């Protein structure tokens, strides 16, 4: 893995802040990103594009997901996002946040 990761927790009042410091190249993919991509490929086999980025600096606390799939056809955006949340139900338990962007392939 081409990333060096260190994480810590800072408690301020009733807030807990997750501090994450990482060094990684843009060409590398974190283990967490790879795991999320694999789950999405299994759950959305007709997906034409899947992109997962760890936006927490590499410590796995928050991800941004872009997924384009025929499975979203004739579904409202909220339903599409619910499908992604359902697919990642186990992985989400360890996350602080998730940004989801879904789309249907244009033919």
Separation between Cα atoms, residue 79 and residue 34, nearest integer Å: 24
Domain boundaries defined on the chain: 53-106
Per-residue pLDDT of the chain (107 residues; tens, 9 = 90+): 333 344 444 444 555 445 554 455 555 789 999 999 999 999 999 999 999 999 998 888 999 999 999 999 999 999 999 999 999 999 999 999 999 999 999 97
pLDDT recorded at residue 58: 81
Supply the pLDDT for residue 8: 46
Q: What b/e sequence results for 79-100 when a residue is b if at least 16 CB atoms lie within 10 Å of its CB, and e otherwise?
A: ebbebbeebbeebbeebeebeb
DSSP code string of 3-68: -EEEEEEEEETTEEEEEEEEE--TT---HHHHHHHHHHHHH-TTEEEEEEEETTSSSSSEEEEEEE
At 10 the pLDDT is 45
* Amino acid 11: pLDDT: 46
* Predicted pLDDT of residue 6: 41
The token pair that represents 11 in the structure block: 């408690």
CA–CA dist 88, 9 (Å, integer): 25
* Single pTM value for the model: 0.74
| CATH class of segment(s) 53-106 | alpha beta
CA distances (Å), origin 99, targets 7, 75, 92, 106: 21, 18, 11, 22
């Amino acid at each position: 893995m081409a990333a060096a990761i260190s994480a810590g927790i800072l408690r301020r009042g009733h807030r807990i802040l997750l501090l994450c410091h990482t060094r990684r190249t843009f060409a590398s993919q974190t283990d967490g990103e790879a795991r999320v991509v694999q789950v999405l490929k299994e759950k959305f086999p007709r997906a034409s594009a899947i992109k997962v980025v760890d936006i927490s600096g590499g410590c796995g606390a928050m991800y941004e997901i872009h997924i384009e799939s025929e499975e979203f056809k004739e579904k409202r955006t909220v339903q599409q996002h619910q499908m992604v949340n359902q697919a990642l139900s186990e992985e989400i338990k360890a996350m602080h946040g998730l940004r989801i962007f879904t789309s249907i392939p244009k033919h």
